[in-house]
A and B are shown apart, each in its own frame.
Chain A
Amino acid sequence: MGYLILKRIAAAVPVMLVVATIVFILLRLSPGDPAMVLAGDMASPQEVAQIRARLGLDRPLPVQYATWLGDMARGDFGVSILSKRPVLELILARLEPTFVLAFCAIVLTVLLAVPLGATAAWYHNSWIDRAVMAASVLGFSIPAFVIGYLLILGLSMSLDIFPSQGYVSPFADPLGAARHLALPSLTLSVVFMALIARVTRSSVLDVLGEDFVRTARAKGNVERRVLWRHALPNAAIPIITVIGVGIALLISGVVVTESVFNIPGVGLLTIDAILARDYPIVQGLILFFALVFVAVNLLIDIVYVLVDPRIRY
């Protein structure tokens, strides 16, 4: 088992290496001198020269790549053009709102979409099934920011309960945080819910045809118990896998949602950095988001190994 876990971790390393390589190529793709790009429009010739020396742009490309990779691996993402502070520090300072928002969205999704999807599968081809599937297509089609503004229009401008802007830390003011986070979490989770409800439905549908479900029924279990205790847990693996893959969707959503609700998290940092052409931050953020994605999926893989005795790689 320990060997399996080590194997999964080892498999995640090349993915990060590829991501880093893609980012490296991206920076070289931009028209002009990467040192100029990383130094910003306002940089003095000395600053550009300094960055050029640091990047070693006069040295051969493989050497540049190795040096850059070494910096990234040590968490040295460089300094921001505008604030001159280390990129890693800036990212870490903005982490809490994003993490709290994403956490709420995932909890909301699991609490709502999984039961909805399971119910749709149970009443396959009924009106409930059709309604859930229709809602799911709708959730895939309306962009998060439009949903955000519709929620603000419906629930924030008329009622005074849910503020439409800003962030309050749940560690400082739990009630205020709940009010501030309600609309953004809902906005962020809509696409995710659409995805998870669909996957839950198809996964439960597959399991409902299995022998052990029939056995559970034959044993005289109440129907409800057959669904929630026998079918759903066995349908869980595809659902959890898609939650992991869906983290990418969630990260894209975070950028848009934080922009709508003006939440000072990593998503807003991304937009600010892009608009200010603060490329060291952008570079750091892409690596950071990819690392989160890989780490979450690695964690899910490890949980499988620990929980499900059927999984042997």
Chain B
Amino acid sequence: MIVVKRLLILLLALFVLWTIAPENVAINIPPALSGGTPRSIVLNPPVIDVTIFGKEIHKDFRTRLGLDLRGGAHLVFEADTSKLKSGDIEDALTSARDIIERRINSLGATEPSIKIVQLGDSYRINVDLPGVDNTAQAVSLIGQTAQLSFREELELPEELATLSGQLLAFNPEPALLGNDVKKATMAFSTHNGQPEVQLEFSKRGREKFAELTTKNVGKQIAIYIDEQGISAPVVQQPIVAGNAVISGQFTQEEAKALAIAINSGALPLPINLIEQQQVGPTLGASEIQKSVTAGAVGLAAVMIFMVAYYGRLGVIACLALLIYASFSFSIFRAIPITLTLSGIAGFILSVGMAVDSNILIFERIKEEQRRGRDQKSAIRLGFGRAIDAIKDANITTIAVALILFNPLNWSFLPQFGLIRGFALTLLIGVGMSLFTGVFITKKLIELFYRHK
């Protein structure tokens, strides 16, 4: 029985080690071992792909890094809901979210995230675009409402036209909207090679457009994006094929962005940018490198100190600490938690608290020994006494971390990623340190002192 138990523990430990393995490590197998031909294996953390009860489960154990570490853009938009009925707001926001998602897919962001946050009466849309370095382009692409419309020429009374110096005016009531466009693509004009946007109408749009062009032969039809006129071609003949072209003084990027915006549909509500943040990828990389080095040096110093001061118990503490760090990191990858700079700080703090649990236990054991108890009962009593203090101390930390993490997303508490990242890693770290402090350290002490 005990053999099975130990085997299970060993398997679990090996699995945890696998989940925290570095990514994409190439191992070259010397020709002598692989039968003459040199081969190499690429090692990766495990990826689980199973189907249980018809549900597909996919889990991979890769470190997810936050925007501040790998570079990218973070944008916060405020949605203008003033023109909507309260019942329609939710639908409008959900569809805005989908539309923004479609638009940013063309930006090449890896794992973009869009979140809607409610704050009292106002709504915000948080957009994270890892790996995107052209924030200005992202903002204009996401932010434009992009309501495409075709407008008919208005008959202006002659005096008014001469008075205003304006020869033409267009009916502000659109005759045809972008919803009737099936597909928009960027192309180069066959006439002059300039970038343009080609439109293909849906069935309904084709009928409407045919009707519109039949009615307006010889007149101009204006193409508007939101309230801005793009072009106003003269209708030469009725167009029944269901195609149209928007030409203007576009650059290639502009034409492409416009096509994307029309394709993704018009945003159901206007949004304004209120916060933006951009981190270059180089800064992130050097910050990680430095923090990892510093963390390693700090950890080494802590371990040397523990062994120097507590001797054999210090070795146990170091082992417990390594197990603790592996488990925590494994959990970070499993959930997964997006690691940010503040998150790493939270983790480091929890490492400090885990060391403290061990120090508390050792000091208590020593104290019991000074009172003349034999080793076995000293360990048992010291442990029991230390756990009380560890429990109370950690519960208060957990309480503070919970308030900062704000799990129910209360709008009167902080909702920013920075603080939540810190709180979450601290929370998991303290929880894990309770676990390792209570179970692992105890097991290790028993193991180490059994033969003495």
A binds B: no
